[in-house]
Homo-oligomer: A and B are copies of this chain.
Amino acid sequence: MLETTKLLAEFTTRPDAALPDGVRHEGRRALVNWLGCALGGARHPAMGIAVGATAPHSGGDATVLGRGERLGALDAAMANCLASSANAFDDTHLATVIHPTGPVAAALLALAEGRNVSGAAFLDALAVGIEVECRVGMMLVAPPAEAELGWYLTGTAGGIGAAAGCARLLGLDVERTMAALGVAAAQASGFRQTHASMIVALVPGLAARAGLWAALLAEGGYSSTPAALEGTAGFAELFSRRAHLPAATEGLGATWEILANAYKPYPCGIVIHPVIDGCLEIAGEAGFEPDAVSRIRLAVNPLCLRLCDRPTPPGAQEAMVSVHHWAAASLARGKAGLEEGSEAAVAAADIQRLRALVETAPDETIGREGALVTVETRDGQHHERHITHALGSLERPMSDAQLDEKFTIQAAPVLGQAAAEALRLAGWGVDDLADAGALARLARPAG
């Protein structure tokens, strides 16, 4: 049997990890995108509750991005990842549907605040942690593994990636890194039934906390078992069926999964995105009148309906994974940002009217990044858009400039325009930071 735990630990600790330039740049994109999302989610109701329930029992050595409170590093890792997940606006490794950056970046930033580590080391650990996270996820879902068991892979693989990143930043050796991976694997959790509730953001937050804690415990000498991931009663066996162990380690260091990470242009389930693309194009047509719409038909990949078939979402949390809502909202408003996912939008009469018109049909011939949107109006107009690759997919990636815009619309309302700009520049310039903790300090709101 492959010694998966050991091989991943060896990768995590290899001293000569000069990352390819493309990997480093993708790490910066992931970081800037994540910082924006953490600020964009800082005021989400789930954050208010989670920080409120945790703060009386926590320390105060780390920053909660975009908020006044401080928490202990473990809980700050949790909170900052929860925030970055709260609006489903983060990023997606499409092969596993993991949202990879949150658990790793949040754990690393909370760790970096208390230890004097360079921005270059931080970026290196971020890329390595994301790589381990995505590799672990691929082991669980790559054929012959059954992919659709209902596990929430950001929760099951995220903590292991966070542990790897933190172990690397701490300079742990192979044996201690193996312990970190094992302690993180023992905390792996989360399933899809709790999507459409605030738990969808809690589980990634927990993964961030679990990974950081695992690395700190391993640093202290906590023991694990050598085959935590691959053993017969181990992680892969239990969190998958017919796990494909080689996917975790084949070509490790030669190919990089972070290059297959996609950034969301819209704050909702990624399988909805091609529908939004189509609706926004239609809404942008000259003379299009949302009030005149009489029929909306969506042909989508079956996965879209398995995850997001919610014709009448009662609130914003459920609307986040409702293809009906986002089709209606983007047709009604010609936009698909945080405002279109708000409680006000979910309750708005014009959007409700359109939502009730949405008809969905699964279509195996349509890829996961595609959709066929057909809209009819009372005066006999017929609008049709066939999207093959949604904006934000690997074929149509968000540009650096689009990521900048996405960052700013989230960060500026929380930090103010000037502070948001300083953080944005620090994110792109992370390699030059003498102390990576500066990223956290720049993300504290004034006053």
> Which A residues contact B (CB, under 8 angstroms)?
45-46, 49-50, 52-54, 56-59, 61-62, 72-75, 114, 149-151, 155, 182-183, 185-199, 202-203, 206, 213, 216-217, 219-225, 227-228, 231-235, 237-238, 317
Contacts and interface: CB of A to CB of B under 8 A. Distances in A.
B223 A317 contact: yes
A217 B193 CA distance: 18
A365 B46 CA distance: 54
Contacts of A197: 182, 223-225
A428 to B, nearest CB: 29
26 contacts: A46-B222, A49-B221, A49-B222, A50-B217, A50-B220, A56-B59, A56-B114, A58-B58, A58-B74, A59-B59, A150-B232, A150-B238, A182-B197, A183-B202, A186-B189, A186-B203, A187-B189, A187-B190, A189-B189, A191-B238, A193-B225, A193-B234, A194-B225, A197-B224, A199-B222, A199-B224
Nearest to A110: B57
Contacts of A224: 194, 197-199
* Total copies of the chain: 2
Contacts of A233: 150, 191-193
A199 B182 contact: yes
Given A197-B182, A202-B186, A225-B199, A234 B191 contact: yes
Given A188-B189, A238-B191, A220 B182 contact: no
Contacts of A192: 233
B182 A228 contact: no
Given A49-B221, A191-B235, A59 B62 contact: no
B72 A61 contact: no
A217 B50 CA distance: 6
Nearest to A220: B49
B193 A232 contact: yes
Which of A50, A223, A228 gathers most chain B CB within 10 Å? Answer: A223
Which of A155, A194, A216 gathers most chain B CB within 10 Å? Answer: A194
A49 to B, nearest CB: 4
A189 B186 CA distance: 6
* 9 A-B pairs closest in CB distance: A57-B72, A150-B233, A193-B234, A193-B231, A192-B233, A53-B216, A49-B220, A189-B189, A193-B233
A429 B358 CA distance: 63
B59 A58 contact: yes
A187 B206 contact: yes
Contact of A57 (B59, B198, B223): B59
A423 to B, nearest CB: 24
A190 B156 CA distance: 11
A191 B186 contact: yes
Given A186-B194, A199-B186, A58 B46 contact: no
Contacts of A203: 186
A220 B46 CA distance: 10
B196 A225 contact: yes
Nearest to A78: B213
A47 to B, nearest CB: 11
A334 B186 CA distance: 36
Nearest to A196: B225
A414 B231 CA distance: 37
Given A187-B206, A191-B235, A73 B57 contact: yes
A220 B52 contact: yes
